[in-house]
Chains A and B, each alone.
Chain A
Amino acid sequence: MASGVKPRVKVPKKASAGEAITIKTLISHKMESGQRKDKSGNKIPRSIINRFTAEFNGQSVLDVTLEPAISTNPYFQFDATVPEAGDFKFTWYDDDGSVYEDSKSVAVS
C-alpha cells in the first residue's frame, strides 16, 4: 500500500430535497506516473489511484477513471442532487489493489 494515503470529503450535513449540493473530495496520494526514473536509472513503477466512485444510497453518482497524468493528491468537486436523506459513499481504487473508502450522511429538511 502506498504510504500516507488519506481520503478527505466535504459534504454539507443538511440539504433540502431535490437540492443540488457541492461535494468536495481529496485523497492524499503520490500518483507516481510510471514515467520517471530513479537516481540509478531504473523506472519507478506506476502507482496511482485509477478509479474513483461516488454512490448515494447504493445508486451510482459518479464513476471516474484516472490516468497517470493526473497530479498528486487528486481533488474532485462535483454537484449532486439529493432527492432524500441518505448516505454518500466514496471509494478510491489504488493500482496496488488497495481500496479506500469514506462515507457521509446528508439529512434532508
Chain B
Amino acid sequence: MKIKALTAIAALVAAPVAFAGGADDDKLVVNGEIEMVTKAKAPAHMENVDEVISGWHFRTDETQALQMDDFENQGMIFADQGLDAWNTVAGTEDKSCASCHGAPEDSMVGVRAVYPKWNDDAGEVRTMAMQINACRTENMGAEPLKYTSGAMANMEALIAMQSRGLPVNVAIDGPVAETWEKGKELYYTRTGQLELSCASCHEENYGNYIRADHLSQGQINGFPTYRLKNAKLNTVHARFKGCVRDTRAETFKPGGPEFIALELYVASRGNGLSVEGPSVRN
C-alpha cells in the first residue's frame, strides 16, 4: 500500500518533467573525439542561475545527433565555403586571409572562445565579425562583409570550428566593463508590446515550452548555428534581432553598439561551456 502510494507520487512528480522538456542528460561528443562541456557551473557574475546549459540539451535526440557527426552537420557545408573564401584573394592588397594567417586550423585555435574582446589599437570592444571586417578593410583593402550575411556566417563558422571543445572565456573586466554593464542592462530590460526581456524567457523559463518549442538558456556558444527551419547558418546578431522582434519591438541594428554590448554580456554568461559552432538547432 505504502509502496503503491509512493509510486503514484513518483509518477505525479515525474510527469511534469517529461512534459516540460527541460535539459536532458545526454553527452555531446563530436565525431567520437571532441568532448564538449555542455553543462557547467554558472560564472560568478550570474546571480539567478546556478548551472549554465548548452542549447544542445534542449533539442530532440534526432537534432542532437546531427551535431555529433560532422558529415551530418550541415553547418559544415558552410564552413567549407568559408574555407574557400579564406583562400580567395580579395581587395587591392592582393591578399587572402591565408596570406597572413596561413591555415585556420593552426592560426585560429581559441579565437572564437574569447570574442567579443577589447581591441587596444581601435579602442573599442570588437566582436569576431567586426574583427573579420577590420581585417578585410584595413589589411586586404577589400569590401567589408555584410554583418549578418551568409559570407560572414561562413567565415565565422570556419573560425569557430577551430575552437570546438575549448571553453568559452570572455573577459568582463578592465576596458570592456562598461560595455558589459550596458549589455547586462539590455538583457534585463523589457521591450516591445509583449514586455519581455531576454531574462523573461531565457533565465526564468528555460526548459518550458514557448510556441511549441523548448526555451533554452539562450547561450551563444554554438553560433553560428545551422537551423533546420531555414536551412542556413544564423549569426548571433540575426538571432538577437529575431528575438527582439518576437517581443514586438523595433529591434536594434545588427552590428550596432547595443547588440555588441549584448553579445559580450550573453557570451560571458556561457563562460565555461565549450565552443560548439557551427552547431545544429531547430
| Residues of A close to B72: CB separation below 8 A | 24, 75
Determine whether B81 belongs to the interface, using a CB cutoff of 8 Å to chain A: yes
Whole-angstrom CA separation of A73 from B228 in the bound complex: 12
Contact A26 B81 (CB under 8 A): no
| Residues of A close to B74: CB separation below 8 A | 26, 73
Identify the closest chain A residue to B76 (Cβ).
A8
Interchain CB contact (< 8 A) of B81 among A4, A8, A10: A4
Identify the closest chain B residue to A77 (Cβ).
B72
Contact A28 B231 (CB under 8 A): no
| Residues of B close to A10: CB separation below 8 A | 71
Determine whether B199 belongs to the interface, using a CB cutoff of 8 Å to chain A: no
Convert A70-108 into 0s and 1s, putting 1 for each residue whose CB lies closer than 8 angstroms to a CB of B: 011101000000000000000000000000000000000
Which residues of chain B (72-129) have a CB below 8 Å from chain A? 72, 74, 77, 80-81
Contact A6 B77 (CB under 8 A): yes
| Residues of A close to B80: CB separation below 8 A | 6, 28
Q: How large is the interface on B (under 10, 10 to 19, 20 to 34, 35 or more residues)?
A: under 10
Q: How many residues of A contact B (CB 8 A)?
A: 11
Contact B71 A73 (CB under 8 A): no
Q: A8-B71, A10-B71, A24-B71 are in contact. Are A73 and B231 (CB under 8 A)?
A: yes
- SS of A interface (majority): strand
Contact B231 A71 (CB under 8 A): yes
What's the least CB distance linking A93 to chain B, in Å?
20
Whole-angstrom CA separation of A6 from B76 in the bound complex: 12
| Residues of B close to A73: CB separation below 8 A | 74, 77, 231
Contact A28 B71 (CB under 8 A): no
Q: A6-B77, A26-B77, A28-B77 are in contact. Are A72 and B71 (CB under 8 A)?
A: no
Whole-angstrom CA separation of A26 from B69 in the bound complex: 13
Whole-angstrom CA separation of A4 from B231 in the bound complex: 15
What's the least CB distance linking B68 to chain A, in Å?
13
Whole-angstrom CA separation of A73 from B73 in the bound complex: 12
Convert A25-62 into 0s and 1s, putting 1 for each residue whose CB lies closer than 8 angstroms to a CB of B: 01010000000000000000000000000000000000
What's the least CB distance linking B229 to chain A, in Å?
12
Interchain CB contact (< 8 A) of B231 among A6, A8, A24, A72: A72
What's the least CB distance linking B86 to chain A, in Å?
15
| Residues of B close to A4: CB separation below 8 A | 81
What's the least CB distance linking A39 to chain B, in Å?
18
| Residues of B close to A71: CB separation below 8 A | 231
| Residues of B close to A8: CB separation below 8 A | 71, 77
What's the least CB distance linking B72 to chain A, in Å?
8
Whole-angstrom CA separation of A4 from B71 in the bound complex: 17
Identify the closest chain A residue to B81 (Cβ).
A4
Interface residues of B (CB under 8 A from A): 71-72, 74, 77, 80-81, 231
Ranked 8 nearest A-B pairs via Cβ: A28-B77, A10-B71, A72-B231, A24-B71, A73-B74, A4-B81, A73-B77, A6-B80
21 contacts between A and B (CB under 8 A): A4-B81, A6-B77, A6-B80, A6-B81, A8-B71, A8-B77, A10-B71, A24-B71, A24-B72, A26-B71, A26-B74, A26-B77, A28-B77, A28-B80, A28-B81, A71-B231, A72-B231, A73-B74, A73-B77, A73-B231, A75-B72
Contacts A10-B71, A26-B74, A28-B81 aside, 6 further interface pairs with beta carbons under 8 A come to A6-B77, A8-B71, A24-B72, A28-B77, A28-B80, A75-B72
